[in-house]
Structure 1
Amino acid sequence: MTTRRNFLQQASLLTAGVLLLPGCVMAEGNKNVGIQLYTLRNELPNDVKGVIGKVAKAGYREVETYGYSKEGGFWGLSAEDFAKLLKENNLTSPSGHFGMDAYIGEGKDEDLESYIAAAKAVGMEYVVVPYLGEGLRQSADDYKRIAQRLNKAAEACKAEGLVLGYHNHDFEFKQFGDTTGYDILLQETDPELVKFELDLYWAVRGNKKPADMFKAHPGRFELWHVKDMDKNDPKLNTEVGSGSINYKEIFEHAKEAGLKHALVEQENFSMDPFKSISQSYTYIKENLL
């Protein structure tokens, strides 16, 4: 949360012309910390307005949505009503996760059209593919077909002023000969149209070094999912700064990656979820940005 003290400190540094500020330099200077609302999936459906209010109180200024459908909207709210709720809480939503399996596998263009309409109504910048069903990704050729569909979707997004993004898990790093599904997606999609939301936890769990990925494909990773890995059980998440992932090192490469939006996500908790998201926010704001 920006306090008067923090504001004055930042203003004095800028006035003095100090360039060696701690932390990363995001592309286009965005220093907001966001959250993927899937983090609060158990609480959100029962109290949308209350949860959004608590997210804002924790200091977040950006949220990423999940689970939208044309029938159910955003947890029972239309895109327009959800946009109003965000505005009331001084929040914006730069991106949303929209299920794309039917679009990719069955050619349901109408799904994509409904997602684009919802994204525009909320004021989003990115329509993000969150996951690939197992049946879609059995071979290298499957990933090439997926890339073709992503390129087509990206063109449709661009025509409406949006950008298509792709969010990974760890299955994309499975080897197919001398390549991986993720490498195929990077190579076969248009770098000007398709950006990547790198889930840093899953990348590390997939034995990848994010800095190497940024160096190989500079500017393509405009969104990050920031969630830490439990030191005792790598299959579990923990609060950012409390786990085994060296986030200070990763954030040093933010500019090379093209980072514009850093979004906290956590899938399991050992404390109250709202205390957890506040702790992660504070760590990122004070130590990484």
Structure 2
Amino acid sequence: MRILTALTLIFVFTQNSLAQNSIDSQVDRLHQYVGHWVSSEHAGTESIATFPAIRMHNTSTMNKLSMQVEVLQYQDGKYLPILTELIGYDAKSKKIIALGQNQHGVIFKGMGRFTSETKWEMQDLDMLGNFYLRVEFDFQSPTNVLLEGYDESGKSLWKTRYIKSNPKDKNIGIQLVSVHQQMLKDPEKTLRELARMGYSYVETFVYENGTFYGMSATEFRDLVEGNGIQFWGSMTFHDLPAADDWEDALEWWSKTIDDHVAAGVKYLTTSNNQLSSIKNKGELKRYSDYYNAIGKLCREKGITFAFHNHADEFKTVEGTRIYDYFLEHTDPEYVYFQADIYWMQVAGVEPIDYFKKYSDRFLSWHIKDYKELGASGEIDWMALFHHADFNPPKYMVAEVEDYSYPPMHSVQLAWEYLYHSVLK
């Protein structure tokens, strides 16, 4: 019996081959500052107080060319505005320009630029041309930025650390294959970053011999939850067994399901890379029976099972599309489906047709594009999420497999696109 590994190898190769992408333009570097931020207890720590001294809301405008900044300070039991700014990239001067006003009514103009992906400097003058402030920004991670203000002589006046704290109210998940190398290197830091970006839960794909990223089910669950996120979904693989290996395969699934139950997982998915070799409907029936058996085990143990598609599922066998056969010949009580929108697009089928016809069979969507979400313009996400004949499923999982930027920046853009542009 063989555990399915081809997809894992493909994903790992993709991550490795694209790991050198960088954030090159001033506009993209500036966009790192977009989002909801709160100040840490002091500049030397990332710990957040119950009522942070500062809250900052940075809203992207003008197709990411600029942002509106609002800074609020906690005073006498409420948050009061102390600063507002418009910050943008000026195409003529090739500089980042800011126009702001503080709570004392002073209006100032700032000018500067990023000297690297993570270092940003701004020189501020008041409207009489007098020196106002020099500020240095140090993005120590995508969700952690240290600000330091200097007077005209170069003396440090203050330091403030901002930690990103995007909202989680729209229940957006992330497939961890999107940040696979980062998870292998430092799972705790990666999970903390994803939680701060606004992701509500994670979906894994690396279950092996009872472990997740080398940790037991309970260890991994505690690590995830300890970093402000939930472990709700998992994708794992086991090939269709030969007839004499059927019981062994179901025993493997039984143990696998037990491990996922211990981890607190709500749903378990699988996919298959053998489908292109199917020759007849008899083989399709064996697959359907296999998924029914797995789904029944999941139901008995309190979690939900779903089948995840790629493109091969939309090929035909004896005049019948494989995906259609699975939908018609698996038991709705035991087998749901996780639609990978991108692979449906690649296969040349219309996802809307499936969601209209089988509206109660889809537990989850994998929300993936040809690059970062929304970048290709080839998938009509608004039509999918706001269709009159069906609702989006319970679990919406963002996934990025091809990158224009470092993976952590790309998954932040995916969350922003879903949160601000699609999930109205």
If the TM-score is normalised by the length of the shorter chain, which range does it land in?
A: 0.7 to 0.9
Q: Given the alignment of the two structures, is residue 101 of structure 1 paired with residue 239 of structure 2, yes or no?
A: yes
The one-letter amino acid of 1:94's match is W
Is the helix fraction higher in 1 or 2?
A: 1
SS at structure 2 position matched to 1:253 = coil
Question: Aligned equivalents of 1:121 and 1:254: distance in 2?
Answer: 38
- Residue 208 of structure 2 aligns to a residue whose secondary structure is coil
Supply the distance in 2 between the matched residues of 1:137 and 1:62 (Cα, whole angstroms).
35
Indicate conservation of the 8 Å contact 1:103/1:111, yes or no.
no
1:1-289 to structure 2, matched below 5 A, reads: 31-70=170-209, 73-101=211-239, 106-107=245-246, 108-134=249-275, 137-229=278-370, 238-243=371-376, 244-253=378-387, 256=390, 259-289=393-423
Give the CA deviation at 1:136: 6.6
Q: 1:2 to 1:208 in 2, by over 3 A?
A: farther
Which amino acid letter does the alignment assign opposite residue 274 of structure 1?
A: M
- Shift in alpha-carbon separation, 1:208–1:144, aligned structure 2, 3 A: same
1:195 partner SS: strand
Deviations 1:63-105 (A, max 9, x none): 001120125x111111100000111112112210011215587
TM-score normalised by structure 2 residue count: 0.57
**Aligned pairs, number:** 257
The residue identity in structure 2 corresponding to 1:273 is: P
Provide the aligned C-alpha RMSD in A: 2.3
Question: Greater strand percent: which structure?
Answer: 2
Conserved 8 A contact 1:35-1:265: yes
Higher relative contact order (CA 8 A, sep 6+): 1
Query: Take 1:287 and 1:266, find their aligned partners in 2: how far apart are those partners?
Result: 17
Q: Indicate conservation of the 8 Å contact 1:37/1:66, yes or no.
A: yes
Runs of 5+ unmatched residues, structure 2:
1-34, 38-54, 58-168
Q: Which runs of 5+ in 1 are unaligned?
A: 6-29, 230-237
- AA aligned to 2:413 is Q
Q: Distance in 2 between matches of 1:56 and 1:270?
A: 22
Give CA-to-partner distance per residue, 1:226-272, whole Å, 9 cap, x none.
0112xxxxxxxx11111121111111139725600110112121211
Mapped to 2, the partners of 1:91 and 1:180 lie a distance apart of 38
Structure 1 length as normaliser, TM-score?
0.82
Q: Which runs of structure 1 show a deviation greater than 6 angstroms over 4 or more consecutive aligned residues?
A: 1-5
Q: Give aligned-pair identity as a percent.
A: 30
Q: Which structure's CA Rg is the greater one? A: 2
Report the alpha carbon displacement of residue 185 of structure 1 after superposing the two structures with TM: 0.6
Q: Which residue number corresponds to residue 18 of structure 1?
A: none
Residue by residue, what CA displacement relative to the aligned partner does 1:94-126 show, whole Å, maximum 9, x if unpaired? 210011215587421222012211211121111
Whole-angstrom CA distance in 1 between matches of 2:175 and 2:389: 21
Task: Name the SS for the 1:240 alignment partner.
Answer: coil
